[in-house]
Structure 1
Amino acid sequence: MEANPNVITPEVVAQGLSFSQYMDQVREAVAQNRTTGLEQSRLLADVTKNNVPIMERTYQTPLLPELVNLVQNLPTSMIWLVLTEGWCGDAAQNVPILASIAEHSPNITFKTILRSEHPEVMDAYLTNGGKSIPKLICLDARTLQPLGSWGPRPQVLQEAILPLKKSDLHILETIRLAQEISDADQGHSLQKELLTFIPAWVQAAQSL
């Protein structure tokens, strides 16, 4: 579901954090036995603590050479605005890879915002009616016009993980199994999808 461009204002973008700032925010929350954002619980604090080493590891994920070449040669400037939270397992697996990809391009500005602090943006980018994160929103850097979105996980992993989330498993077991599936993929499916998504976003920018 695409958002009204007015939902993402210059003020929203200005509030966004770089990936390193976001990591600092997550680590600070962990140091305070909290999670990020407005939703707080012991469970969310615990899974946020567990997510930090996952984020540090996935940030080092090897990138496909063809994807690096694609973003290095983008003909248009983009903002990648990512809805996330420190407690989210899918965000721990995918946001660091997205940040690493963006860092290879002089034409991508990477920003993160928290789902709980920007409900109007989240409500504009629902996944099957749900507030699933992470959600990457690609914006034209000049106009903030949305060019497309991605998330919360690659389609092949969505098909594998969604049944777990609908099962009667304990939440911690669901998280563990979902993490195993994502770990086995090693960011490959995300990168393969972006090889298709990014050219479509470029085309959308060029048609503005």
Structure 2
Amino acid sequence: MKEIIKNSLQKAISYPEYRTLVKDLLDQGKSTGPSQSDDLLNYSLLNDKRMKRLDKTIKLTEETIAKVKDVKEPQTWLVLTEGWCGDAAQNLPVIHKIAEENPNINLKLVLRDENVELMDEFLTNGGRSIPKLIALDNKNEVISTWGPRPTTATKMVADYKNEHGSLDAEFKKYLQVWYNKDKGNDVQKDIISFI
């Protein structure tokens, strides 16, 4: 696994580089990943707008800021993502803001579909769910993982799947409304619990 992590880190990009990559692809009428469709393009366009808004509006709690400033040893937060992923659009801006609070935290992103070996090491309930944050120490040993959703959203998804079998468009809309009301607070609680 260490070699897989090393290879993915060599391909990793910063959050601003990721935002530029997604925007450049959108300008060409494309989404990230090898599969292209109108649906993925439309999700990517919507997510780009969400991330632009969240980049400006996300506020970290005092508790989050204090906890993240306490990180003394260097860490790399390697995140698997794709531009079309709604959960990534809601969570990456928060993760980025948290990482910006401490120079000991180096946030790097890789595309899931270009890093399948890495993704397969960090499945969620057997699925390639993203975003997936892998916190690494300065020797690239895994400290912790997080994702693809904050604790409350994860429970909402599990409960809905148990009752209805799968997620439909109505639930996905409901989940996005929940994210908007939560304002990144739940993901902050999750992240500070492992740093």
TM-score by length of 2: 0.92
Unaligned 5+ runs, structure 1: 199-208
Pick the aligned partner of 2:20 from 24, 42, 51. Answer: 24
Unaligned 5+ runs, structure 2: none
DSSP-derived class of the 1:161 partner: helix
1:117-196 matches, within 5 Å, as: 117-141=114-138, 143-164=139-160, 167=164, 171-196=168-193
User: Post-superposition shift, 1:5?
Assistant: 2.6
1:145 and 1:138 mapped to 2: Cα distance? 8
1:29 and 1:44 mapped to 2: Cα distance? 12
2:37 and 2:11 mapped to 1: Cα distance? 24
TM-score by length of 1: 0.86
Is the alpha carbon distance of 1:147 and 1:169 closer, same or farther for their aligned partners in structure 2, counting shifts above 3 Å? Answer: closer
Question: Where does residue 81 of structure 1 map in the other structure?
Answer: 78
2:147 and 2:16 mapped to 1: Cα distance? 21
Is the alpha carbon distance of 1:170 and 1:66 closer, same or farther for their aligned partners in structure 2, counting shifts above 3 Å? Answer: closer
Task: Report the count of equivalent residues.
Answer: 193
1:34 and 1:176 mapped to 2: Cα distance? 23
Question: Where does residue 35 of structure 2 map in the other structure?
Answer: 39
1:89 and 1:145 mapped to 2: Cα distance? 29
DSSP-derived class of the 1:8 partner: helix
2:168 and 2:87 mapped to 1: Cα distance? 14
Root mean square deviation, CA, Å:
1.8
Q: What letter is aligned with 1:31? A: D
Q: Is the contact between residue 123 and residue 131 of structure 1 (CA under 8 Å) also seen in structure 2?
A: yes
Question: Where does residue 113 of structure 2 map in the other structure?
Answer: 116
2:61 and 2:85 mapped to 1: Cα distance? 25
Question: Where does residue 93 of structure 2 map in the other structure?
Answer: 96
Q: Is the contact between residue 47 and residue 87 of structure 1 (CA under 8 Å) also seen in structure 2?
A: yes
Q: Is the contact between residue 82 and residue 134 of structure 1 (CA under 8 Å) also seen in structure 2?
A: yes
Q: What letter is aligned with 2:107? A: F
User: Post-superposition shift, 1:7?
Assistant: 2.1
2:40 and 2:97 mapped to 1: Cα distance? 25
Q: Is the contact between residue 58 and residue 94 of structure 1 (CA under 8 Å) also seen in structure 2?
A: no
Q: Spell out, residue by residue over 1:36-63, the C-alpha distance to the aligned partner (whole angstroms, 9 max, x if none).
A: 1222211000110011111112223100
Question: For structure 1, which segment, 157-166 or 60-69, has the greater mean C-alpha deviation from structure 2 after superposition?
Answer: 157-166
Question: For structure 1, which segment, 172-181 or 111-120, has the greater mean C-alpha deviation from structure 2 after superposition?
Answer: 172-181
User: Post-superposition shift, 1:130?
Assistant: 0.7
Q: Spell out, residue by residue over 1:179-206, the C-alpha distance to the aligned partner (whole angstroms, 9 max, x if none).
A: 11211211111111122111xxxxxxxx
Q: What letter is aligned with 1:156? A: T
